[in-house]
Amino acid sequence: MPNRRITIILNSNQSKRITVLIPLPGGPDEPYNARDHILAQARNKFRIKELNIVYHWGGEVVYDGDILPEKIDEVLVSKGEAYIGPPAKHTRTDGKVGEVRVLASQSFVHEDVSDLAEVHL
């Protein structure tokens, strides 16, 4: 069975990282769960049995049955704490990369603001 190299990073202490080989899916009918392989290796190497969440860079959670894209070579593992790291690059409808920052939990903006050319909602 072919393998793939993945770097696993501890979410709470990102200086702790390991590189492991996880198996690739053998066929369309063969059950495959990359998340389980990543968590098993991380629990063994980091000696933390409570690890239960896998994140991509940007904070996207890897769920059961998800197949990791080929471009992903680093994942973060967590004991349940929120993702710690840079936000994902969001693309706008015109294809340009935009940056999203949450400045407050509540904002009072007039509805006419969306008519401005510089504002993209």
In angstroms, rounded to a whole number, what is the distance separating the alpha carbons of residues 44 and 86?
27
Answer for the pair 59, 85: CB distance below 8 angstroms, yes or no.
yes
Q: Is residue 119 part of a domain?
A: no
The domain tally of the chain equals 1
Helix H or strand E segment including 35: helix 34-46
Nearest to 77, CA basis, from 38, 49, 45: 38
This prediction's pTM: 0.68
88 part of a folded domain: no
Give the model confidence (pLDDT) of 62-120 as tens digits: 888 887 888 888 999 999 999 888 777 665 667 666 666 766 666 677 767 767 766 65
Tell me, yes or no, whether 28 lies in a domain: yes
**Domain interval for residue 27:** 3-78
